[in-house]
Chain A
Amino acid sequence: LVFTEEDKYGLYSSLLFKYFLAEGVVCGHDLFVASAKEHPANILKELPAPLLDDSYRKELGDEAAAVKSEDFQDSMKIAWRYQNLPKMETSPTTYTKFGHYYDVSKKMSPELCQSVKLHSFYLHEELPFEPKMKTWNMNSAYARLLQSIQRIISQEGFDGSDPQKKQRNVLRIGIQSLGSILWGDDVCCSDAPEDPQSLTKFLYVLRGLLRKSLSACIITVPAHLIQNKAIMERVTNLSDMVVGLESFIGSERETNPLYKDYHGLVHVHQIPRLNSLICDVSDTKDLAFRLKRKQFTIERLHLPPDLSDTVSRASKQDLAGSAKLLSSGCGAMAIGKKHLDF
């Protein structure tokens, strides 16, 4: 269960959402898209087109080769201690077989979209709650969504209930803007919401459904609107992976020279620890994203070298302050008080 905190204007989180669905289409998984904001068919029309393997690999290969040949001969003279450290790779130059790359400037062809089965749930087109269901003590929109998901899972055999089905497939579920007012939940509007447990109950039942079927789910939530932090803590507990996107649009960081190459930061609050005592922690916690014309990339955050002629004290403090903000840790591994900065 991947829980994504939306950025303020929802631009980048919807991009991430579409990537998830596009990957599903390319892999041949079934899709289930739920939204209260836009009709799922419209969402699907805007999925990025997958890059044909050959041309992109060649591009990447060329770039990588160029980079390698250049600094192969340079050996460091002053900072020679750093020579032995592995080269910092900001983006995956050696492509891996895992996943595909997408071209954001092009839309996915309708034939490709239609090659997989799509189940959609558009809240405003759904029938009202069936009275014969037992009282669930939950927001009715969430309850309907859960029923719909459960029905698809059992009908299509994602939970292994149909032994005749030989080819087992994966269901990718994407739920957009959960918790917003459009779903009938006021958890994003008021400090003391009417039914604070609806969202957490929904997540718990969804988690149960995911665990017992071959499915993966991404949820985006406008977390910046949720005033009640207790709910966010509980939600983090109930999700496997929690990622937050913070875009620089409209904030003071947009003009901050530190971040001039990037469009926002990626905060990884929690990573899944499933079927094992340990979890897979990467070396760095500071990730940033940027949206180039064709690509949306997530990279390690690089502080640009301080090359200004007049290095004033003020700017140095600013840098230090921002650097402190960068190294906030992730919940599955321990985080501590940030009074020491390295």
Chain B
Amino acid sequence: QGKFTLLRDTRTDGSFLVHHFLSFYLRAGCKVCFVALLQSFSHYSIVAQKLGVSLAAAKEQGQLVFLEGLKSCLDLLFGEEEQPGQPSPLQFLSGSSCDLRALFDFVRVSLSATAGHSWKGPVLLVDDLSVLLSLGAAPVAVLDFIHYCRVCVCCQLKGNVVVLVHSNEDSEDEENELVVNSLCHHSDLILWAEGLATGFCKDVHGQIKIIKRLSLRQAEQDLVQTYQYKIQDRNVTFFARGLSAAVL
């Protein structure tokens, strides 16, 4: 309850973690607000079906509030004039406001309204935050947005927040690194998917570092575990380093 989880990937694609958390929270009966900025609804839907969850059904029942970033952006840019009562969540794109307030309002409204159903704790899932920078949001605006979400979802509503970001050790994208580093310091749990240090391998797709923050003040007390993983069509298998099935 009230946890902020950061999903981070470096030189590989960590979206399998997003799919996992989505189906995990839906199966647990939580109310999920999914801000999907990079892919379409059908993409997530098809993968979720392989993992045993139906996104369409969850949406019908009101368990899942899905913001499809791509579609919302098109509606904003190509659609008719927006209705005064329903501002587009991605309003910052058209330049009328340079902060992500509208997006936050969308999140707050979708997770607060729980009349009629008793879902377990609310969850905010974002895929992925680095896209907001590409769309012109300032790093400070992104951090403010996350801060507001955290206060609202984690503290007030006692829910969880899971956010995916991309990062790179020798990245030249300073704005992105700024956001990622800042989020790392504020997270309770960091799941970091990385490429193997030895290069590409067919059987081991990467390694994942799980960093649990025991105390927000002292970094030495963090619990760090490392596993390697292989992604399959319906599943991801994790194993201890060096013990891939291909080797044994």
- A interface with B by C-beta (< 8 Å): 134-137, 146-147, 150, 197, 200-201, 203-205, 207-209, 211-212, 228-230, 233-234, 237-238, 273-279, 281, 283, 285, 327, 329-338, 340
Given known contacts A212-B70, A333-B206, what 17 new A-B pairs fall within 8 Å (CB)? Answer: A201-B93, A203-B134, A204-B131, A208-B71, A211-B40, A234-B173, A237-B38, A238-B134, A274-B39, A275-B43, A277-B19, A277-B233, A278-B232, A329-B195, A331-B12, A334-B196, A334-B205
Measured in the bound complex, the distance between the Cα atoms of B93 and A205 in whole Å is 11
Q: Please name the residue on chain A nearest to B13 by beta carbon.
A: A332
* Residues of chain A with a CB closer than 8 A to B11's CB: 331, 334-336
Given contacts A134-B77, A137-B95, A230-B176, contact A333 B43 (CB under 8 A): no
**Residue among B15, B195, B202 with the most chain A CB within 10 A?**
B195
Cα distance, A331 to B195, chains bound together (Å):
9
Bound together, the chains give a CA A136 to CA B226 distance in angstroms of 45
Interchain CB contact under 8 A, A335 and B74:
no
Kindly list chain A residues whose C-beta atoms are within 8 Å of the C-beta of B231: 277-278
- Contact (A335, B195) CB under 8 Å given A204-B70, A212-B71, A273-B13: yes
Once the chains bind, are A233 and B198 in contact (CB under 8 Å)? Answer: no
**In the assembly, what is the distance between CA of A204 and CA of B206, in Å?**
28
- Chain B residue with Cβ nearest A147: B78
A234 and B233: CB pair below 8 A?
no
Question: B131-145, CB under 8 A of A: which get 1 and which 0?
Answer: 101111000000000
Look across to chain A and name the residue whose beta carbon is closest to the beta carbon of B79. Answer: A134
Query: Does B214 reach chain A (CB closer than 8 Å)?
Result: no
Q: Which chain A residues border B220 with CB–CB below 8 Å? A: none
CB–CB B202/A334 < 8 A: no
Say if the beta carbon of B120 comes within 8 Å of chain A. no
Interface of A is mostly: loop
Complex formed: what's the CA distance from A275 to B135 in Å?
Answer: 24
Q: Are A333 and B70 in contact (CB under 8 A)?
A: no
Chain A residue contacts of B235, Cβ below 8 A: 277
CB distance from B3 to the nearest CB of A (A): 24
- The listed residue (A203, A212, A279, A338) touching B40 by CB distance below 8 A is A212
Q: Is the CB of B30 closer than 8 A to any CB of chain A?
A: no
A279 CA to B206 CA, complexed, in Å: 14
B175 touches A230 (CB 8 A): yes
B206 smallest CB distance to A (angstroms)? 4
Q: Which residues of A contact B50 (CB under 8 A)?
A: 276-277
Which residues in B have their C-beta under 8 angstroms from that of A208? Answer: 69-71, 73-74
B47 and A197 form a contact (CB under 8 A): no
Report yes or no: A205 in contact with B74, Cβ–Cβ below 8 A: yes
Cross-chain contact A229 with B232 (CB below 8 angstroms): no
Q: Is B60 an interface residue when CB atoms closer than 8 A count as contact? A: no
B136 & A137 in contact (Cβ 8 Å cutoff) = yes
